[in-house]
Every structure is written in C-alpha cells, then in structure tokens.
Amino acid sequence: MLELFILLGLIISTVYFVLLPYIHERSHQDFNLSASTPQGRLLYQQANLRSMMEDLEFDFLT
C-alpha cells in the first residue's frame, strides 16, 4: 500500500513540475508570435495576467 502512495506521488510531482511548466512556456511562445495584432495583444496580456496569478498562488502555497 505504501508503494502505491509513493508511486502516485512520483507521478503527480512529475506532471506538476515537468509537464505543466513546459505547457506554460509553450503557451507564452504562441502568444508572442501573434502579439502584433490587437487580438494577439489582448491574448498576450491575458497570458501575462494568468502567469502572475499562478505565481502568486504558488508563493501563497509555499
């Protein structure tokens, strides 16, 4: 039973610390490419705001 919890913890931590930052970085690259149009600038601002909110949540949790 303990091994199952350890394995589950490893899987969750891998997703949280490896895959999510990669996806987060890719989303910023996509918005950077389209930032020359008004809609692209709005999407870029929303992504920056979302990133700042995630950073604040992470700071609050640690």
Chain segment 32-43, per-residue pLDDT in tens: 555 566 777 777
What pLDDT sits at residue 27?
Answer: 66
- Confirm whether pTM is higher than 0.75: no
What pLDDT sits at residue 30?
Answer: 56
CA atoms within 13 A on the CB side of 26: 6
Residue extents of the structural domains in the chain: 25-62
**Residue 52: CB atoms within 10 Å:** 10
**Cα four-point dihedral sign 26, 29, 24, 44:** negative
Amino acid at 33: L
What pLDDT sits at residue 56?
Answer: 81
Q: Which residues does the chain have with pLDDT short of 50?
A: none
